[in-house]
Amino acid sequence: MSDSIRITIRLSRNAAEKMEELVKSGEFKNLSEVVRTAIENFLAEKFAPRNIEKISVDLPKGTVAMLVKLVEAGEAVDMDDAIRTAVREYVRRQISTLAKKEIEEGIKKEIVEGES
């Protein structure tokens, strides 16, 4: 980091202990990396393009395992891509189902009105 500044922050003991757990688990090299990653993720979310809404989703481990398999099989570039695709397809199916119901209801209404 050639162009960096040092910032001092205060955290609750609980937050600091959880961050230490992340370092001990090997997920991060040190506490600074944990903090940098958290801040970068926060800023990426807050400064996302206006047409993008970032959300966080808790998924069962089995579902995550299936998404990993899709990525490994080349069906998705990464986990984010797999989740976006799954949500997009679900929404398309639901919209299609709703549209079909509306069309059927419209036809039924026309038939009833035609019989009157």
- 18-54 tens-digit pLDDT: 999 999 999 999 999 999 999 998 998 888 888 888 7
Interval 86-105 mean pLDDT: 90
Q: Same domain for 65 and 105?
A: yes
Q: Same domain for 69 and 113?
A: yes
- % the chain with pLDDT above 70: 97
| The pLDDT of residue 17 | 96
* Helical ranges in the chain per DSSP H: 13-24, 31-46, 61-72, 79-115
| The pLDDT of residue 1 | 53
Give the structural domain span for 26: 1-51
Q: Same domain for 13 and 62?
A: no
The count of structural domains within the chain is 2
Q: Give the distance from CA 32 to its chain's centroid.
A: 25
Q: Same domain for 39 and 80?
A: no
Q: Taking the complete model, does pTM exceed 0.85, yes or no?
A: no
| CATH at 32 | 1.10.1220
The residue that leads in pLDDT, 1 or 79, is: 79
Q: Which of these three, 35, 51, 67, is where a domain ends?
A: 51
Which residues lie below 8 Å from residue 79, measured CB to CB, with a gap of 6+?
64, 67, 68, 71
Q: Same domain for 61 and 104?
A: yes
Q: How far apart are the C-alpha atoms of 67 and 86, rounded to whole Å?
A: 9
